[in-house]
A and B are shown apart, each in its own frame.
Chain A
Amino acid sequence: MNPRLKQFLQVFYRLAQIEMLSETQIYVAIKIKSLLADKTDATLDLESLKESLTDLPDDQVMTVLNELAQKKYLSIKRGRIIFRQYFLNQVLHD
């Protein structure tokens, strides 16, 4: 595929993905983005994410994380959330 065509289509693919997210998912994603801004690795401690999202109950945070995990944007292993580079660089890019 023409590389410029690929870049062009990717913009709308990302936009469609973002539009498919609920308001709570977007809220959590923005929080994740800000928490990862100062970090060198793409992982977060699950408990510290829950603490930083004080306005959301823990079970709702878990629901959102599981929904994002279903979309394969992240995985949760032993209390750590590992984000896919695609989610960070592409979906959260905009």
Chain B
Amino acid sequence: MINWVKINVITLVSFFVFFLINQSVFEIFSVSENINWIFLPAGLRLFFILVYRHRVLVGLFLGSLLASVYLTQETLSPFTLCLALASTLNPLIALYAMEKLTTYFNLTLQNLTLEAIISLAIIQAFFSTTLHHLIFLGFGKTLHENFLGELLTMFFGDLFGILFMLGLLTLGFKLILKSYKPTR
């Protein structure tokens, strides 16, 4: 129970911190209040769901809810609740879809490859974009003439966000490897 609380608090805090970093660092890539060409928290969502699966749903939901309330400047509303729910569920849907659709990925992550992670990132970006835009449409938050443009921006924003995070992780390992001197 303590571990569960701990991992959910870590998820919530890191999601919101990365969201705030994204808002300030990549503000120039923002096309509207909800849509950005780079969305770092998407990478974090994928990481937490891949590793901890259902255990982090509460943390992800609360982190997303906090982000939605911050973005929309609304108090808790059906709109922000739906956005947070979509944000929480899309990586999980992507994970199970990937497991069903492919033969090279399993939920234990045995023999996980970069190819599988990138495929997962594309599937997650697809579900995230679809779910969010259904909600935007349902609540009348999208201008219909901008619909396709915003849809594509969100898809690539999620994808670039995930790839950016994965790049940072690789860079981290490269720095560790560079400082490592093998003993003979």
Contact = CB atoms under 8 A, between A and B. Distances in A.
Interface string B84-122: 000000000000000000000000111011110100000
Given A12-B173, A16-B177, A4 B108 contact: yes
A8 B109 contact: yes
A70 B182 contact: yes
Interface residues of B, number: 24
Contacts of B174: 16, 19-20
Interface of B: 47, 50-52, 108-110, 112-115, 117, 166, 169-174, 176-178, 182, 184
Interface residues of A, number: 21
A71 interface: yes
Chain A at the B interface: mostly helix, strand, loop or mixed?
helix
Given A7-B109, A72-B182, A17 B50 contact: no
Contacts of A9: 169
A79 interface: no
A37 interface: no
Contacts of A19: 170, 174
Given A15-B173, A17-B177, A4 B182 contact: no
Given A4-B51, A4-B52, A16-B171, 19 more contacts: A3-B108, A3-B109, A4-B50, A4-B108, A4-B109, A5-B51, A7-B112, A8-B50, A9-B169, A12-B172, A15-B114, A16-B170, A16-B176, A17-B173, A19-B174, A72-B182, A93-B113, A94-B113, A94-B115
